[in-house]
Amino acid sequence: MKIAISMAALAAALVASPVLAQQAPAATQSATPTAADAEAFLAKAEQTLFDQSIVSGRAAWINATYITDDTDAMASYFGAIDTKMRVDYALDAAKYATAPGLSEETKRRLTLLRTALTLPAPTTPGAAEELNDLATRLQSAYGKGKGTLNGQPINGSDIEEKMGTDRNPEELKEMWVSWHDNVGAPMRQDYAKLVSIANAGSKELGFADTGAMWRSKYDMPAADFAKLTDKIWGEVKPLYDQLHCYTRTKLNEKYGDAVQPKTGPIRADLLGNMWAQEWGNIYKIVAPEGAGDLGYDVTDLLTAKDYDQTRMVKAGEGFYSSLGFEKLPQSFWDRSQIVKPRDREVVCHASAWDLDNKNDIRIKMCTKVNGDDFVTIHHELGHNYYQRAYQIQKPLYLDGANDGFHEAIGDFIALSITPDYLVKIGLLDPAKVPGADKDLGLLLRQAMDKVAFLPFGLLIDKWRWGVFDGSIPESQYEKAWTDLRTQYQGIVPPVSRDETKFDAGGKFHIPGNTPYARYFLARVLQFQFYEAACKQAGWTGPLHRCSFYGNKEVGAKLNAMLEMGASKPWPDALQAFTGSREMSGKALVNYFAPLQKWLIAQNKGKSCGW
């Protein structure tokens, strides 16, 4: 089973049954394992993992879509078995990796097996059970979490929507504080325990800590990966700094000095998103005079055309079909969770699932009829089409070239949700397509999501890497989180916070134990993919207006890359579609170059920075 957005250790990609795992060849049976021993081990392990993943995947799906004490217990039970067996396989893989005469492919498969875990449990009796109990409890606490608005309880998906539309600073503050206090703070002790157990497991696998293990999954040494992310951030930071400065000025003009000062960081709850990770919901506040009104709003278009949630997903499927991809199977429509059920608690965070490593692909969303979820649908379906494309690969290669690739595929498709595309699918009247004089507005609207996200995408794992390696002790969890948010995003909480809080837990991917660097990489890769696709399509206009909807040549080349899965190092896959072997922020900066020039002019005389 591959779950594009991981559901903690319970729903990890590779799992094994205890009976079959004991039958696999063990490295300890021979003092000097041979290359033939390694091949036999891999053959047995891969088949076992493949077969058992179906059972474990269904348990994880049921738990995510029907949260009860019973399904929590079921998920924890399977998660404990999975973690134990994956640790056993990873330990054996590390031993077989020393065998002489291994082929490069065998070495790569052993490395993939050794680093396939997200939360490794140590071999200490009871550790796997405790780790999975903690992981299940944390995820379920998030799924059941509620904040308040005007003193009334409000669930996660609804409070996220209200943060995007409410402009009352006191109500925004209430929602922000209540969510983080009610959801994040109670997780703190459980999270610290989870970190301790996972670190012990990572050390048994030969890694310094769990963060180092996560960074070792990118076909390069862990330290080099951290340097790569810093290099990319350095390429895009000047653009972010200009966007921050301009946005702060507009918020000050709207709310006044008492709510948002002219200088310093931005108040986190004013940016239209619970985590201030994307700012597009406040576009109307920052829209440039004369160019800001694009003439349409995707949410309004969907409503006017009587779109419901299923029709929105059908539209997303239509984009991929236009590129030549096969339509989604009927089981997708029968089994996906597209709308939040009324009768039970579920994990609303959008995710894409493959439960049989073939065609049982699904999405899990609590879809709202709005522009944000229209984009999210295109993103999640990108995971599903990727999963289906690489089903031809060996079990250990049933994954993206790296996890950033998996996130970037749908995102670069979503970049093609341009006015031209909206006209072609009948959502936008051709007479209302914005003219060239609106280009700055189009770019700013994109930047409020795409560029604003970049520091958030980086700091989530910066914080966890510090937590895992001990440079951020438990006594400073909250301070370090707030400091990193200020350092990278230039934002501050609406109220003071102390070490009784755990604001990191208010973001799904922390209690969900999903590595986050993938999303930072995806923001970079999607522009590299998009630029390459537009060149392949022969697009000659402004890059941000390009849509390759309907171009089957682009689809064929894209599918060729998707089919590679994880069978080759990611630079090979990147080169196959873009011609380059380097991840870089340059394509993103090129895309927004006209906007950056305009922002610099708008910010002239302002005290930028924080």
- Catalytic residues, which ones? 380, 509
C-beta separation of 41 from 96 below 8 A: yes
Alpha helix segments (H runs only) across 470-509: 477-484
Distance, in Å, from the CA atom of 285 to the CA atom of 86, rounded to the nearest integer, reads 50
What is the Cα–Cα distance from 465 to 210, expressed in whole angstroms? 8
Q: Which residues contact 341 (CB under 8 A, 6 or more apart)?
A: 65
**DSSP codes joined into one string, 441-493:** HHHHHHHHHHTTHHHHHHHHHHHHHHHHHTSS-GGGHHHHHHHHIIIII-EE-
Sign of the four-CA dihedral 443, 277, 403, 222: positive
CA end-to-end span of the chain, whole Å? Answer: 45
SS3 318: helix
Q: Which of 115, 140, 281 is nearest to 207 (CA)?
A: 115
Question: Which neighbouring-strand residues pair with 493?
Answer: none
* Cβ atoms of 281 and 165 closer than 8 Å: yes
The answer to whether 535 and 555 have CB atoms below 8 angstroms apart is no
Q: CB within 8 A of 161, min separation 6: which ones?
A: 368, 370
Edge to edge, what strands does the sheet with 361-364 contain? 2-3, 351-354, 361-364
Using the 8-state DSSP alphabet, how is residue 182 labeled?
Answer: I
Q: Containing H/E element for 152?
A: strand 152-155
The dihedral through the CA atoms of 147, 152, 158, 161 has a sign that is negative
C-alpha dihedral over 412, 416, 418, 422, to 10 degrees? -130
- Measure the CA–CA gap between 568 and 572, rounded to whole angstroms: 6
CB 419 within 8 A of CB 426: no
DSSP-derived secondary structure letter, 409: H
